[in-house]
Amino acid sequence: MLDIKFIRENKDLIKEAARKKLIDFDIDELLGIDDMRLTLLVEVEKLRAEQNRASSQVATTPAGEERSKIIEEMKVLKDKLQVKETDLKGLMSNWGFLMLSVPNIPDFTVPEGKSDEENQEIRNWGSKPSFNFTPKNHIDLMTDLDLVDFERGSKVSGFRGYFLKNDAVLLNFALWQFALNFFTQKGFVPMLVPSLVRRESFMGTGYLPQSEEDLYKNQDGEFLSGTGEVPTMGYLMNEVLEQSDLPKKFLSFSPCFRREAGSHGKDTKGLIRVHEFFKFEQVVLCEASHQTSVLLHEEITANAEEFVQKLGLPYRVVVNCTGDLGLGQVKKYDIETWVPSEKKYRETHSASYFHDFQTRRLNIKYKDYEGKKRFAHSLNNTALATPRILASILECNQKEDGTISVPEVLRVYMGKETIGKIS
């Protein structure tokens, strides 16, 4: 959410942000309703003041004709006030929805484009593996080595269901342990965060009301989160921090759930796109400074890059174009790791910053060194998402005999160097 004063003073910027992000938003409608809101607020406050004066008069006027006249005037005032308050309540509901729909302004360095196909590569790392044999995809590799069961996964969970088995489970836990050690050494506070989250945190982070179709919802109105960012941001909702405590850096782990409603027909097989997965998320709150946000954005991206490098996976970093940004994102990088069977990079990490878009919605403030309360800035980045990254790890490390070499940094956690068939 942006400040209404900022929106009024930067009408053309908001229009341009909506155009660039391909978001259907009418700034003139919002400003028209805001004018009505301000007028009604003045009228309501005036009527309330008149009602208070009349109440004081009644209290000091002896019983009689004059007092009865004042009481009659109070009844008329009360009726007028009730009508105006009802009008204001309805108007505020519409105003609030439109305020939640205002897109954040992309950074000037974000390239303009319509979809992820127009994201721009800014750097790459590592050598793509070359094989003197025909490499298998991760589905065949895992099936041959009894690492996964998609058929029974679908039987139990439905479409995109899966069971990880044997060394795939050990590999998964090895990745989690390595991620926990790696990112906590970077100064991040580890947290196990809930997946079942109330609407307020989804509204605050910008996933609602626009993306409700992609969320699972229970009968009590809570939602299953698709990222630890949502509960972690809700953790400090309606709180005031001290500037000396910033930046706050969290490493949040949780099961995650996504309906993938907008991805019908995409990646219908394998582990690239599933409904239930597990994720470590870097979440950062910092002072209200664009420069600080930019520096921390580069830092958390560098953390994720270093993590992928230690796994030995070739990757590239792309800056997302305007049409591939969410409602609240100012700028976003994707890290895409190489998938040999597809002969292309696939997104495994995303890093974004939001300025005060989320914290204003969630009412997360800090008291600066001068004692002034300000909305913090927020950032987040994927530290590790499993099982998706298994596709790159397994395919890049496969050997001609059908076995898979375990990345060196994971061997201490796996207790083995090679994944082979279970005898």
Distance CA 339, CA 356 (A): 36
Q: State which amino acid sits at residue 243.
A: Q
Q: Choose, from 350, 352, 378, 392, the residue flagged as catalytic.
A: 350
Which residues, including other chains, have CB under 8 Å from residue 382's CB and lie 6 or more apart? 279, 280, 281, 282, 304, 335, 348, 349, 350, 351
Annotated active-site residue 258? The verdict is yes
DSSP 92-150: HHHHHHHHHTPPPPPPTTSPP-SSGGG-EEEEEESPPP--SS-PPPHHHHHHHTT-EEH
Straight-line distance from the first to the last Cα atom of the chain, in angstroms, rounded to the nearest whole number: 57
Q: Choose, from 361, 388, 392, 395, the residue flagged as catalytic.
A: 388
Q: Choose, from 48, 273, 316, 411, the residue flagged as catalytic.
A: 273
Q: Choose, from 160, 195, 258, 360, the residue flagged as catalytic.
A: 258
Which residues, including other chains, have CB under 8 Å from residue 245's CB and lie 6 or more apart? 366
Structure tokens at 379: 């950032």
Annotated active-site residue 8? The verdict is no
SS3 of residue 194 by DSSP: coil
Annotated active-site residue 388? The verdict is yes
Please, are residues 311 and 393 in contact by the beta-carbon 8 Å criterion?
Answer: yes
Active site residues: 258, 273, 347, 350, 388
